Structure 1
Amino acid sequence: MEELLTLKDLLLQGDIPSTLMIVEELEEMSSNDIIKTIRSYAVILLLHLIKQQAENRTTRSWEVYIRNSIREIQRENKRRQAGGYYLTREQLRETLEEAYLNAIDEASLEVEEGRYEVQELEKLVNGEETINRALDLILPAQSSYNN
């Protein structure tokens, strides 16, 4: 990674301000990767919650997708060494809201074998309720989820 070599050179030169800029860039890149991964799993989670709500039923495979997505989101969001979480509750909500658009698109292809257009499906499901349910499933039971 070119940034690490640049960082090493700047440290050896004693250029602390430039070094800090590179560190901030690396932090932002890492954060963007984490958000992207969480968003991908959020689409899967929301897709299956939408299907449950629209079809008023569930299947074992949907339940497995939901559980696996929750676990992966929790794993990606947890800071292993520093402790805590990468995304705050509000940032996680924003990520779910962004993912919802993709999830409802995908759900329109799957709910009742593609019977509904996106606009029709949006009328069948409560998007806010679905996002809230996803958030409740993802967040730890403790109310101390702050970052």
Structure 2
Amino acid sequence: MEELLELKTLLSQGNVSDALVLVEEMTEMSRDDKINKISSCAKILLVHLIKRQAEKRSTRSWDLSIANAVDEIQKTNRRRKAGGTYLSSEELREALTDAYRIALAEAAAEAF
């Protein structure tokens, strides 16, 4: 909210160059937020997939968590008005790889 007020002030003062810099910063902050949310959902997804594979069984709760995490990742990554996605396929793969390390440790801790 603070950034929006600052943007409004900059524009009302005619300071377009600083306003554009602020818009870029806000865009980056928004993208970082999307990446963090996708990573968090990916971790949940991977923990349940790892546990399902390791324990050779599944529960309704795990299945629902897996489905919800996939839906949330897809929804979060989709650009509503501009079309396309926030993360490319390669960036999404990288986010999943990073989340896998964390998920593996968490699933192992829950198993023992």
The verdict on a shared fold, with TM-score over 0.5 as the criterion, is yes
Deviations 1:15-49 (A, max 9, x none): 22111100000001111111111111100000011
* SS state at 2:85 partner: coil
1:65 and 2:65 matched: yes
CA distance in 2, matches of 1:105, 1:88: 26
1:94 and 2:94 matched: yes
CA distance in 2, matches of 1:4, 1:59: 45
Deviation at 1:2, TM superposition (A): 1.6
Q: List runs of 5+ in structure 2 lacking aligned partners.
A: none
Given the two structures, how large is their TM-score scaled by the length of structure 1? 0.72
Relative contact order higher in (CA < 8 Å, ≥ 6 apart):
2
1:32 maps to a residue whose letter is D
CA distance in 1, matches of 2:78, 2:97: 20
2:70 maps to a residue whose letter is I
**Aligned ranges 1:1-147 → 2 under 5 Å:** 1-111=1-111, 114=112
Q: List runs of 5+ in structure 1 lacking aligned partners.
A: 115-147
CA distance in 2, matches of 1:19, 1:98: 34
Identity rate, percent: 55
* SS state at 1:26 partner: helix
CA distance in 1, matches of 2:8, 2:58: 53
1:76 maps to a residue whose letter is T
CA distance in 2, matches of 1:52, 1:110: 12
Question: What is residue 141 of structure 1 aligned with on the other side?
Answer: none
CA distance in 2, matches of 1:13, 1:110: 56
CA distance in 2, matches of 1:78, 1:26: 18
1:23 maps to a residue whose letter is V
Deviations 1:84-122 (A, max 9, x none): 1111111111111111121011101223xx1xxxxxxxx
Return the structure number with greater helix share.
2
Given the two structures, how large is their TM-score scaled by the length of structure 2? 0.92
2:93 maps to a residue whose letter is R
CA distance in 1, matches of 2:55, 2:10: 58
CA distance in 1, matches of 2:3, 2:58: 47
Deviation at 1:55, TM superposition (A): 2.0
